[in-house]
């Protein structure tokens, strides 16, 4: 819920930059992925999923890039479904969604706004799934609201900094941040597979 609040706040502050065509293609995939996660009975080992996500992120950052076809409507729909499914299983889809959005957006504000809109949709579906599973949000409402408020302040400060960065500088920082997240996933995946 805190991630939902942070991403919704970021969308509210950058809504003019959201790529609505990406969102229109991503949302049906989010619904499909959430439905699949809700009914999935067989689960792959967590370490394998984390290594797969890390490989995709590293390829997206350092490889030749995704083919144009992957960035079209069908590719975005499949990305929405797959990342939502993975998010529900291991909770680590943020770097994967960011790497995917990075490939299709050239403007730093569009990257941040579109990523935040995609993640808002994913986190809302997870809240629904966890609510159906019995999580009582009311018991944690005060803490969630305080964390969302502090996250909004951080978002506001971060966007002020973002507007001062050049596109090149942002791309470099974004690429390295995703790489560090992917390397962390590699570490977690190997640790879990090793037992």
Residue-level length of the chain: 195
Q: Which range marks the domain in which residue 7 is found? A: 2-194
Model pTM?
A: 0.78
**pLDDT mean values, one per 10 residues, the chain (195 residues):** 87 93 91 77 65 82 78 85 75 79 87 92 80 82 92 92 92 92 91 86
* pLDDT of amino acid 45: 66
The total domain count for the chain is 1
Joined together, the tokens standing for residue 27 give 């949302």
**Gap between the Cα atoms of 44 and 103, Å rounded:** 27
**Gap between the Cα atoms of 61 and 124, Å rounded:** 27
């Amino acid at each position: 819920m805190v991630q939902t609040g942070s991403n919704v706040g970021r969308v509210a502050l950058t809504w003019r930059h959201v790529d609505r065509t990406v969102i229109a293609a991503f949302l049906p995939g989010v619904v499909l992925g959430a439905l699949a996660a809700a009914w999935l009975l067989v689960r792959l080992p967590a370490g394998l999923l984390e290594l797969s996500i890390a490989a995709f992120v590293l390829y997206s950052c350092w490889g030749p890039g995704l083919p144009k076809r992957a960035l079209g409507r069908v590719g975005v729909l499949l990305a929405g479904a797959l990342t939502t499914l993975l998010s529900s299983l291991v909770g680590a889809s943020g770097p994967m969604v960011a790497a995917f959005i990075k490939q299709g957006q050239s403007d730093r504000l569009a990257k941040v706004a579109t990523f935040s809109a995609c993640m808002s949709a994913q986190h809302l579906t997870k809240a629904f799934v966890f609510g159906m599973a019995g999580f009582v949000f009311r018991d944690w409402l005060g803490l969630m609201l305080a964390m969302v408020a502090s996250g909004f302040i951080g978002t506001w400060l971060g966007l002020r900094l973002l507007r001062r960065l050049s596109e090149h500088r942002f791309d470099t920082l974004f690429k390295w941040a995703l790489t560090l997240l992917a390397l962390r996933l590699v570490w977690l995946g190997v640790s879990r597979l090793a037992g």
